């Protein structure tokens, strides 16, 4: 197995693809790739329909997967707020690559049972969360990674690339079946505050009580105990973490599924949360800022580093709200990845939502960096 990745910042699509393809062919030494993954920034929107044929002209009939992007990641670098084309190639001996496209409401395609998935969906025309729930049911042992296409501002303005086709709706993906493993890291970038508590009353996504006390009262008491810096964060970067594995005595970062707090009704003492809640679940409030996000990613990468088995390549699906916007510097997450895993080829893009598992269940996230790290199953 062999992966390689590059990025071109040429402002015109033909020389951009040509430069990226030339760099990849040199790195592959003319070995034919079994999968090509392309992400193109919205600066190239007028040329989206030409991208698959340009790549096919350079590489022949290798399967192509990709989408439009608010920013691209290639060759271990992040290109934001300027033209960019990311191209990643994988040579996958012993692996069947099964491409598929599905529209909203269509039946799920029949896909190999033991495969892993890379998934790209249009946020305006496809219910990715419902699809992921179904895919987890039919393929519980498979890992799923990916993101929502970005760059477009309304239905029909994003592009999904699959083979030589360009789709403007639905979901595209590949199932990877055979001698391949995909490890995942989902960095949600939050730290807990206060203490874990039980939900004692809720309905759908409305949180009424925690440990028998109204949710708004619990939050107000917690706010008053925070230092001024955290109080300021709580005004705009407060989240609820839901424990995903409750059969444990203590919880740490990474044990929680982070979800938005979408509103508070002080008169009723309730909070609205961006998730369907269950009574007796354990939850804890969380905060997010650049420092916390950086520390969370470092911890998760370091934890993976000790158990990893010869990673050959990786894909990164990062939120549009991360990158320079969050950290004030380019290449933050890709540099962290390189520090821990070395020169593993890394491609990807900045998403409208990131797909990745938390404790074995696949979710659509926001504000995360979701990595898929590939190695041979036979290693």
Residue-number span of the structural domain to which 84 is assigned: 2-187+294-375
Domain's final residue, options 258, 287, 316: 287
Q: Which two tokens stand for residue 160?
A: 């999904």
Report the alpha-carbon distance of residue 286 to residue 31 in Å, rounded.
48
pLDDT for 74: 97
Q: Phi and psi (nearest 5°) for 322? A: -95, -145
Mark whether 97 and 18 lie in a shared domain: yes
pLDDT per position as a tens digit, 62-73: 999 999 999 999
pLDDT per position as a tens digit, 232-283: 999 888 999 998 776 666 676 667 899 999 999 988 999 999 889 999 999 9
Q: Which two tokens stand for residue 280?
A: 């007796």
Mark whether 42 and 158 lie in a shared domain: yes
Mark whether 216 and 67 lie in a shared domain: no
Report the alpha-carbon distance of residue 185 to residue 179 in Å, rounded.
20
pLDDT for 249: 63
Mark whether 233 and 361 lie in a shared domain: no
**Number of structural domains, the chain?**
2
Q: What is the mean pLDDT of the chain?
A: 93
Kind of pairing, strands 213-214 and 361-365? unpaired
Mark whether 199 and 324 lie in a shared domain: no
Given the structure tokens 């919880």, which residue do they identify?
251
pLDDT greater than 80 at residue 288? yes
Instruction: Tell me the DSSP string of 178-240.
Output: ES-EEEEEEE---EE-S--EEEEEEETTEEEEETTEEHHHHHHHHHHHS-HHHHHHHTTSEEE
Q: How many helices (H) and strands (E) does the chain have?
A: 8, 26
Cβ atoms within 10 Å, residue 30: 6
Mark whether 138 and 20 lie in a shared domain: yes
Mark whether 96 and 223 lie in a shared domain: no
pLDDT per position as a tens digit, 351-361: 999 999 998 89
pLDDT per position as a tens digit, 69-111: 999 999 989 999 999 999 999 999 999 999 999 999 998 889 9
Instruction: Average the pLDDT over 153-176 and give the result.
Output: 97
pLDDT for 333: 96
Domain's final residue, options 287, 311, 326: 287
Helix (H) or strand (E) holding 19: helix 13-28
Instruction: Average the pLDDT over 293-306 and give the result.
Output: 86
Q: Phi and psi (nearest 5°) for 47? A: -110, 5
Mark whether 94 and 181 lie in a shared domain: yes
Mark whether 306 and 282 lie in a shared domain: no
* SS3 call for 351: strand
Cα 184 to chain centroid distance, Å, stands at: 10
Q: Name the least confident of 37-41, 55-59, 121-125, 358-362.
A: 358-362
Mark whether 347 and 330 lie in a shared domain: yes
**For the whole model, what pTM was predicted?**
0.92
Asked if residue 274 lies in contact with residue 259, where contact means CB atoms within 8 angstroms, the answer is yes
pLDDT greater than 70 at residue 3? yes
* Residue 240, domain CATH: 2.40.30
pLDDT for 305: 65
* SS3 call for 260: strand
Mark whether 252 and 199 lie in a shared domain: yes
Given the structure tokens 């950086």, which residue do they identify?
294
Domain's final residue, options 287, 318, 344: 287
Q: Name the least confident of 32-36, 245-249, 363-367.
A: 245-249
Mark whether 79 and 130 lie in a shared domain: yes
Task: Quickly state the pLDDT bin for 307 (edges 50, 70, 90).
Answer: low
pLDDT greater than 70 at residue 55? yes
């Amino acid at each position: 197995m062999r992966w390689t990745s590059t990025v071109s910042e040429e402002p015109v699509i033909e020389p951009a693809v040509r430069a990226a393809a030339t760099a990849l062919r040199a790195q592959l030494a003319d070995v034919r790739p079994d999968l090509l993954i392309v992400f193109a920034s919205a600066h190239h929107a007028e040329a989206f329909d030409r991208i698959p044929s340009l790549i096919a002209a350079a590489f022949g009939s290798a399967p192509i997967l990709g989408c439009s992007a608010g920013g691209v990641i290639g060759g271990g670098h992040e290109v934001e707020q300027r033209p960019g084309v990311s191209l990643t190639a994988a040579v996958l001996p012993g692996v069947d690559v099964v491409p598929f496209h599905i529209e909203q409401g269509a039946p799920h395609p029949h896909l190999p049972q033991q495969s892993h998935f890379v998934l790209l969906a249009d946020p305006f025309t496809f219910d990715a969360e419902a699809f992921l729930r179904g895919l987890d049911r039919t393929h519980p042992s498979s890992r799923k990674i990916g993101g929502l296409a970005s760059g477009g501002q309304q239905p029909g303005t994003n592009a999904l690339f699959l083979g030589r086709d360009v789709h403007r709706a639905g979901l595209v993906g590949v199932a990877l079946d055979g001698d391949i493993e995909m490890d995942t890291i989902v960095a949600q970038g939050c730290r807990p505050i206060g203490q874990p508590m039980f939900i004692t009353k809720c309905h759908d996504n409305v949180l009424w009580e925690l440990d028998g006390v109204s949710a708004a009262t619990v939050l107000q008491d917690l706010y008053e105990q925070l230092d001024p810096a955290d109080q300021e964060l709580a005004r705009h970067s407060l989240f609820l973490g839901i424990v995903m594995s409750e059969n444990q005595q203590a919880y740490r970062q990474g044990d929680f599924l982070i979800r938005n707090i979408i509103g508070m009704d002080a008169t009723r003492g309730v909070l609205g949360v961006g998730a369907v809640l269950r009574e007796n679940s354990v939850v804890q409030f969380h905060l997010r800022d650049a420092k916390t996000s950086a520390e969370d990613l470092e911890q998760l990468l370091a934890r993976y580093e000790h158990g990893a088995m010869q990673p050959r390549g990786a894909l990164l699906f990062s939120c549009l709200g991360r990158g320079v916007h969050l950290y004030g510097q380019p290449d933050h997450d890709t540099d962290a990845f390189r520090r821990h895993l070395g020169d593993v080829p890394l491609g990807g893009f900045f998403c409208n939502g990131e797909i990745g598992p938390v404790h074995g269940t696949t979710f659509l996230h926001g504000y995360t960096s979701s990595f898929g790290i590939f190695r041979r199953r036979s290693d």
